[in-house]
Chain A
Amino acid sequence: MDDAALGARVIARRLLSGGAIQQNWLYEVETNGAREEWVVRTDNAATLAVSRSRPEEFALLRAAWAAGVPVPEPLFQGVHQGKPFFAMRRLHGETNAVALCKAVGPAGDAALLRQCGAALRRIHAIAPPRADLPFLGEPPADAALAFVAQMQARLDDAGTPRPVLEWGLAALRRHAPPPVPAVLVHNDFRNGNLMVEDGRLVGVLDWEFPAWGDPHQDIGWICAPCWRFTNQQLEAGGLGRREDLLAGYGPGLDESRIPFWVLAATVRWAVIAADQGARFLSGTEWTLELALTAHLLPALEWQVLQQVEMLDA
């Protein structure tokens, strides 16, 4: 991207990370006589149908920024060579999940978890209707049952019979909690999408999957065993204790709803892994990473069986 596309003088640029879905470019620019560092996010060739577009992600980032969520400051958006992009101010910190597990140590970091809880609370303060977020559509009348229906449809699309995931979906139907008013859920709030500097949460990243839903959905996602990496004993994303996360969140949650959303999280990650495996098997994206993602399924299915047993007990 050149000076004209960015409205600033480009001094240097380099590719930070090329995910399956997006590319992130670091730009050093000069604007109004000052040097700044921007991250420019644009689409990669393979775009996941279920993820948000760049303009949608930019709108979500602006809403989160305005709500006081720690996120990179959204700057502007545009279109370059037919591809939408947006720019945000660069943040500094660690995002590598395993490095963060190591940094917090086996006892976890209570203060960090309280900040995560507080960030989730601010995200969940964004509630429908929102004229700036029309692409989120109508909030579901019952987020739990809507989730189950959505997962069943995606499972059918992937085409491989998954009896354990059927077992999990059946348990989710049996234990669906009564609906609560919908709020914005981040849908991928976990170790790996959190930027931390000196034990401080500086950025909640990856606004690709937000939707209207049940606030407990995000709690279940970060508390699912699949994100604990080397700190299996730390329930909240391998970073700390669930109690500290909930203390940081404050009032308004019902802990009895969390086991449902933990199972929902495990089923969802398994469905995503099945999707990614199907992309490898169909030949559309022939990478070793996708091939290995399919092999995560048996371990996730093992967790599903254990979680169903706990819910049914």
Chain B
Amino acid sequence: MLERPDAGALVAAARQTVLDALLPHLPREKHYEARMVANALAIAGRAMGAPQPAQDAAALARAIRAAPPLPGTAEYARVHAALLALTRARAAVSAPKAIA
């Protein structure tokens, strides 16, 4: 067994430390960088344990490029649903607010 706390808890604690303990003491011109660090840790935390999207992005990209489905067809609806699921899974890690 690996030692606990696990990676997720460490990343969350590191992020909280940046925001609560460091940021208030940094000069204004360094706030942007500190917020970037906190944001990166938040994304990393959400990525841990997030499922890999089931959709094959490369195959979808090739298929759309080769023969883009036309609106109103069953193929359009199928590909659209796959893209929505893929994007939802990706945004859940990178930008959950975007799909809220």
Tell me whether B61 and A295 are in contact (CB under 8 A): no
Number of residues of chain A lying within 8 A (CB) of chain B? 24
Closest chain A CB from B41 CB (angstroms):
11
Q: Say yes or no: B64 contacts A295, CB within 8 Å.
A: no
Range for the number of chain B residues in contact with chain A = 20 to 34
| B19 is an interface residue with CB less than 8 A from chain A | no
Cβ distance B92 to chain A, nearest Cβ, rounded Å? 8
A185 to B26 alpha-carbon distance, docked (Å): 40
Contact A292 B91 (CB under 8 A): no
The minimal Cβ–Cβ distance linking A75 to chain B, given in whole angstroms, is 28
Consensus secondary structure, chain B interface: helix
Chain A residue nearest to B76 in the complex (CB): A312
Nearest A-chain residue to B58, judged by Cβ: A161
Name the contact of B40 in the complex, choosing from A288, A298, A299, A305 (C-beta under 8 A): A288
Are A163 and B91 CB-contacts (below 8 A) given A291-B40, A302-B99, A305-B84? no
Binding site for B on A (CB under 8 A): 161-164, 166-167, 170, 173-174, 288-289, 291-292, 295-299, 301-303, 305, 309, 312
A170→B83 CA distance, assembly (Å): 14
Residues of B within 8 A of A167 (CB): 64, 68, 79-80, 83
How long is the Cα–Cα vector from A289 to B79 in the complex, in angstroms? Answer: 32
- Docked pose: A56 CA to B24 CA in angstroms: 43
Question: Known contacts A299-B91, A305-B84, A312-B71; is A163 also within 8 Å of B60 by CB?
Answer: yes
